Amino acid sequence: MAAVNARPRLIAVAGLIGCGKSTLAGELSRRWGIHSVSSDITRKGLAGLTPDQRGDRGYEEGMYSPAFTDKTYDAMLGEARIHMERGASVVVDASFARARHRARFAGVAGDAGADAWLLECVSTIDETRSRLARRAERPETTPSDARWETYLSQRTTWEHIADDEPLRHAVIDSASGRHETVREALAMLLRWTAENSTGR
pLDDT of residue 101: 97
Decide: 43 and 72 in contact? Cβ < 8 Å.
yes
pLDDT of residue 147: 86
Which domains, from first to last, does the chain contain? 9-195 (3.40.50.300)
pLDDT of residue 57: 64
- 37 CB neighbour count, 10 Å cutoff: 22
pLDDT of residue 6: 66
pLDDT of residue 199: 55
pLDDT of residue 56: 66
Written as tens digits, the pLDDT of the chain (200 aa) is 444 456 899 999 999 999 999 999 999 999 989 999 999 999 999 999 998 888 766 677 889 899 999 999 999 999 999 999 999 999 999 999 999 999 999 999 999 999 999 999 999 999 999 998 888 777 767 888 888 888 999 999 999 999 899 999 999 999 888 889 999 999 999 999 888 766 54
Decide: 127 and 111 in contact? Cβ < 8 Å.
no
- Entry pTM: 0.90
